[in-house]
Every structure is written in structure tokens, then in C-alpha cells.
Amino acid sequence: MTKDFQLTTLANNLTVITEHMPGVRSATIGIWVKRGSRHEPAPLNGICHFIEHAVFKGTRRRTALDIAIESDRLGGHLDAYTTHELTAFSMKVCDTGVEQAFDLLADMLAHPRFDAEDLEREQRVILEEMKMVEDTPEEHLAELFNTAYFPKHPLGRPIEGTAKTVPTFDADHTRRFHQHAYAPANLVIAAAGNITHEQILELAARSFGDSTSETDTAAPHLEANEAAIETAPAPAAPILIRRKKDLEQAHLILAAPWVSARDEDRYAASLLASVIGGGTSSRLWQRVREERGLAYSVGASGGTYTDTGVFQIYAATSPDTLDEVLDISLQELRRTTREAVGNEELRLVKDQAISSILLSLESSSARAGTLARQHIVHNRRVTPDEIIARYEQVTPDDVQRVARTYFKTDTLALGALGNLNGFKVDRSRLEI
């Protein structure tokens, strides 16, 4: 542990992590909650995302307008998001505003008002958000595909919930889930920038030090779901084709199982995804967009969870060129299993990954987020030097081994949405 990086666990199991960044005047303060949509029982699908919204509606000491004014006055960017596995709140401010920013975040998360009228209004807001997703083809296809890819598992449910579940989130349900999910043992406070560990520790103890973990008593109805929530999913291999005549483009997802966030092959897998479709020099970008002009948007990425992952190629193209884009995508997957990546191409994606790491070191928000996520996923800090060294150790054989492990005919999945005319796909066409 360096003097700039420090970690303390309070008596109530709340974790405080800090990294001092010499020579900067900014600081990012964040509170990460180790609960996301994966940790919800089916009848409460979407409540983590709902609470993320609801805490902005006011506390015992602040109205929603007070929160907005105070955030603007601090000149910071107050950000919040929910994923399948966590919920995050962070604020980047000048170092002179650290105490005020921390007090604001802590008050929102520890003492939300959850007024019944406010919650009803926010339900309507989130229902409108769902409609916006349905009107955005790439997001709509992603949700449809995710449900088919992780059937009967919490990872397959939409993060924002459904039109059936969200209207049931009254004040009682919301308070009980919040009390359970936002217990100190589920919180990670991370800060980076011109701060000291003692400063953040004092603020954390002041705001959360008297709190005790109530996860065993606050919401006993949740415990019955724990086994299902923590069980690793068994991904399906769906071929999902949805026709929507009013779309100008056809939207395509080609997917395969992938490494988890904890897998030792995650570095080789990340480089493999970059080779296939991670940037403007990638194979898909060059073949689909630059050489043939078939798409404006095309790429590939690997999404990881703590116990599984999903590799996806995404493209949007004209309905009459969808078959060609699919064929090119399949050709590139086959190519990675049959031919080792060249040293020059591998060097390119390594440089790309390493540059991204080094550039992120200049951002207090990137550092704070990395500290929190690494603790939640790995229960330790993974230093930039370690990450860079692991990328440098990846060989062409490692990349090909990952491709051969995960790109297989029987586990490949496909999703398509749009005015698809006669577009058809069977398993034989997805042969790797």
C-alpha cells in the first residue's frame, strides 16, 4: 500500500478508499453501493434504479431544489447510474468543496425522504424513460436480446424495471429495500484527487459511523431470493429476429459467452475484442465501414460481470445489406479462431489499451471509480503498473486460445431488429 493509496474498513463494515493525487485542485467523492438489478427479487425488478432516482427528490434536510442548487454552486458534476451489479453516485468538485460535496452525497443516500407524491412522479418519469428506450432501436434490441440471452435469471431483467413492477414501488417498499441495500456493509466510499485519507475517513465516520448493518432484519423477504441472485447464469444461444417496419435501418447483435470480470484471461479477451471491433483501425470497422460503406455504426466489445460475460458485435445497416454485414462478422470470428493475431496488430491494441490506462490517471473521477469497482470485484487494488504488465504478457497464442474457447457454433447467439424483409438465420449459418 503506497502512501497515496489507503483503505480503511470501519467497525460497521463500511469501506473507505482514497488516492491522493499531487498537483491537482480537483477531487472526486463517490459512494458505490454493492447492489444492482441482479440483487432484486423479480417482483421488485427495477427498484435499485428507482432508488437511484428517488434519492434526488429530497432528504430530511434538503429539498430536491436544494440538492440541485447546492450541486450547481459547488461547480461539480453530480453523476449517478445503476448497473446489474452496483449503483453509483459521485461528484467531482474543487478541493475547497470536498466537505460540502461529501455531506450532500451522504445526506442523499443515508436520509432520503421518499415522499409518496415524489415517488409517484418519479414512477411516471421512469415509465417515460422506458418508452424512450423502446424508441431507440439499438437500446430496445439490447434489452430484448439480454432477456433472451439470460432467461429466467436476474441478469436478463431490464435495469429500469418494467411497466408492471415500477408502479408498485410505494414508500414502504422503497424504504425497506433501501434500508436493506444501503446498509454500511454494502457501501464503498472512494475518493481521489487533492484529498487526504484522514479527511474522508472523518467525513465518513461522521455521516455513517453510527449506522449498523441491517441487512439481516430490514427486509427478510429478500433473503429467500439470495441463492437465485448469486447463482451464475447459464447463457442461452438465442436467434432472436424481431420485425419493426417503421425503422430505416436493421440493427444486429452477434454474441458469444465471454470471460468474467475476475477471469485471468480477461486481458487477452479485452485485446481480442479490440482487434475485432474496438476502434477505427479494427477489422470490423475497416471492412464494414471503410472498405464497403455498409454502416455508420459498427463495433465489438466484451461486457463482464463477476461470474460471466458476453461478447457482442453490434452494427446498424440497411435491411438489404444486413446479410453481408452478418457474413463479414462471422468471417472475422472464424478468422480469430483459425489464425493467430499478428505481432504488429497485437502491438497496436496493446498500445491502445495502455494509452487509455495512462490517460485515465489524470482524471480524479476515473481514479475514484476504478478504486471502487476494483474493490467490489476483486477485493483489492489492481495497480496501473500491474494491469499494463498483464497486457504486455499477452501473446498471439493467448488471444487465439480465448477465441477458440468462446467462439463456437452451438453457443453463438444473434439478435436482429428492423424492417427485415426476408432475413432468416438458422444455426448452420452461424457455423464457426
Residues taking part in catalysis: 52
Q: Among 82, 16, 97, which Cα is nearest to 6's?
A: 16
Query: What angle in degrees, to the nearest 10, is found between the helix axes of 197-208 and 98-110?
Result: 30
By the 8 A CB rule, do 430 and 410 touch? no
Question: 344 vs 33, 46, 53, 272, 396, CA distance in Å?
Answer: 41, 45, 47, 14, 10
H helices of 135-281, in order, are 137-149, 171-181, 197-208, 226-230, 266-277
List phi, psi (to 5°) of 391: -65, -45
- Which residues sit opposite 152 in a β-bridge? none
Rounded to whole angstroms, how far apart are CA atoms 407 and 257? Answer: 8
By the 8 A CB rule, do 101 and 93 touch? yes
Rounded to whole angstroms, how far apart are CA atoms 126 and 147? Answer: 19
Rounded to whole angstroms, how far apart are CA atoms 379 and 373? Answer: 9
Rounded to whole angstroms, how far apart are CA atoms 277 and 349? Answer: 11
By the 8 A CB rule, do 21 and 5 touch? no
By the 8 A CB rule, do 89 and 76 touch? no
